[in-house]
Amino acid sequence: MALVGTEQPRAVLLSGPDVGELEQEYVLAALRSGWVAPAGPDLDRFEEEIAQRAGVPHAVAVNSGTAALHLALEGVGAGPGDVVVVPTLTFAATANAVLYTGAVPVFADCDPATGNLDAELLSGLLATLDAEGARVRAVVTVDLYGSCADYRRILPVCERYGVPVVEDAAESLGAARDGRPAGSFGRAAAFSFNGNKIMTTSGGGMLVTADTGLADRARYLAGQARLPAEHYEHAEVGYNYRLSNVLAALGRAQLCRLDAMIERRRAVRAAYREIFAPVDGVRLLAGDDPAGNCWLTGIVADPERTGWRARELAVHLRARQVETRPLFKPMHLQPLFAGARSALTGAAERLFANGLVLPGGSALDDDQVGRVVDGLTGFLDGRR
């Protein structure tokens, strides 16, 4: 409750939604059209538009990125008795989707430069699992914080063992690598349109794939696995995963603005880059990636060289109403996955200890970015 004369400046959020008049127009038009069910022209168009953006022929709109991942894993046949390799440095949804199928996740560590799956470690892990006769049904890659994984090295490794890649592209819509768009690398990929992602449908996701059979089956399972008949006919367990046409309309408006929103995030990241460039011991996570979507900017501070810890910077910024967050806590450290098999180098644990995610939302205005910049320079000046 703000008292007169003590008005607080608006908190600077990590990644708030960025919606305006265009979104209102699209949503209102969808409501007025009467298509308020999980079917309708906006849903069809949204699927076509996202498929085109990802450079793949098929897209199935669903009500979360987690649902898209679940369907992708179902689509490559993951089930009880199977193993799925998952990066340890990710959001829990990546690993939870594996559990939904009845398969067991095996965690693999990351490349310290990017936080993405360590291709060399993966190669050794797949060789070991292969020698043991494990049924490895998929390797899930995560395009962390909007930077695509190193597919040039990962894809041949997976091919060698005949293991399909499922791309968790929840954070990377609009990013690219080696001239290919995020979402085009795996047998199937999942985008998220959660409220904090690069674009939002308030909640939603999309499965994209070049595999027609996989797309058809995902669409069928997402619609309660209803078989074609006049009555309700079901032969297997389905899910209520489809996206509403109204939310697809919101997504279409956001997609019109995606490139502009990415540009804004790039500009925010560039401001942080400039501040930290002269600071010994601080680097940007995936700082060399020219084609990331800059969803969020993570910094990594080596306390041996900086003389301060990332958590101290977080405290300093919080006092100025600036939200930050540690990098993802690795899955192998989560109570949920205690005892899970993991191939570790220590890279993810070090990133968790020394990393910090800074506000990067495209809705940040110049004043808010200025407040973060002032907070950062004030902190650094005090530590010199």
Ligand X SMILES: *Cc1c(COP(=O)(O)O)cnc(C)c1O
Mind telling me the catalytic residues?
197
Q: Is 170 in the site for ligand X (CB under 6 A)?
A: yes
Q: Is 167 in the site for ligand X (CB under 6 A)?
A: no
Stretch that binds ligand X, among 111-119, 166-174, 317-325, 373-381 (CB under 6 A): 166-174
Min dist. Cβ of residue 164 to ligand X (A): 18
Query: Nearer Cβ to ligand X, position 87 or 375?
Result: 87
With CB atoms as reference, the residue minimizing the distance to ligand X is 65
Query: Nearer Cβ to ligand X, position 72 or 284?
Result: 72
Min dist. Cβ of residue 75 to ligand X (A): 16
Min dist. Cβ of residue 351 to ligand X (A): 15
Looking only at Cα atoms, what is the longest distance across the chain?
A: 74
Q: Is 323 in the site for ligand X (CB under 6 A)?
A: no
Q: Is 194 in the site for ligand X (CB under 6 A)?
A: yes
Query: Nearer Cβ to ligand X, position 90 or 306?
Result: 90
Residues numbered 62-81 forming contacts with ligand X, rule: CB under 6 A: 64-66
Query: Which one of residues 93, 165, 175, 208 is an interface residue with ligand X (CB under 6 A)?
Result: 93
Q: Is 91 in the site for ligand X (CB under 6 A)?
A: yes
Binding residues for ligand X, total number by CB under 6 A:
14
Q: Is the dihedral of CA 36, 40, 42, 47 positive or negative?
A: positive
Binding residues for ligand X (CB under 6 A): 64-66, 90-91, 93-94, 142, 168, 170-171, 192, 194, 205
